């Protein structure tokens, strides 16, 4: 039971997603729909972004096509500013699907973190500034899909140590009480 509590607390520290609509389920799409707005996000670049009814990422959930689905426009994408705590550690996680040679660029606070991203799951850690902008841009090609975007706090090692030490103390106390 104690170990279950430790697992709940350990995962709970990371569970809060700071991104609004990171799973792109806030609106319903029928097929592929060119978007002029997207809940929680700004559409940037040339503005050619599509919402897709079902994704290719192993789940029957919606996703976004940064390339506009039909014409492969480079430079289109989405961004969102998330509220963080200055100097605290965070991880941004997301899935990309690019079956036809397209690639995606990920920017953090207008700085390129990664470019040429093809199909896969990605995670990048950063130190919060208080307000951090995440930006996803289609580099090239049709079908540059994005899904499951999250920004979560990364627990400090000392916090995990303290949590583990506390759990150990409870286990010892329980054993001594028997």
Domain ranges of the chain: 15-177
In CATH, the architecture of 15-177 is Sandwich (2.60)
Residue 13, pLDDT score: 45
Residue 61, pLDDT score: 81
Residue 6, pLDDT score: 44
Return d(Cα 36, Cα 33) in angstroms, integer: 10
**Quick one: angle between helices 157-177 and 2-15, nearest 10?**
160
Task: Report pTM.
Answer: 0.78
Token match 């000392």: residue?
A: 158
Low-confidence ranges of the chain (pLDDT < 50): 1-14
């Amino acid at each position: 039971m104690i170990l279950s509590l430790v697992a709940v607390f350990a995962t709970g520290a990371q569970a809060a997603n700071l991104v609004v609509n990171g799973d792109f389920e806030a609106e319903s799409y029928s097929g592929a729909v060119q978007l002029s707005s997207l809940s929680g996000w700004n559409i940037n670049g040339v503005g050619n972004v599509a919402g897709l009814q079902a994704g290719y990422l192993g789940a029957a959930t919606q996703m976004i096509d940064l390339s506009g689905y039909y014409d492969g426009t480079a430079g289109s994408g989405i961004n969102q500013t998330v509220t963080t705590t200055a100097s605290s550690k965070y991880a941004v996680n997301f899935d990309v699907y690019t079956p036809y040679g397209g690639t995606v660029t990920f920017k953090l606070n207008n700085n390129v973190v990664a470019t040429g991203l093809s199909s896969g799951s990605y995670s990048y850690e950063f130190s919060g500034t208080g307000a951090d902008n995440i930006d996803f841009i289609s580099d090239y090609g049709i079908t540059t899909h994005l899904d499951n975007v999250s920004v979560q706090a990364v627990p400090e090692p000392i916090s995990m140590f303290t949590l583990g030490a506390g759990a150990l103390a409870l286990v010892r106390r329980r054993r001594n009480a028997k």
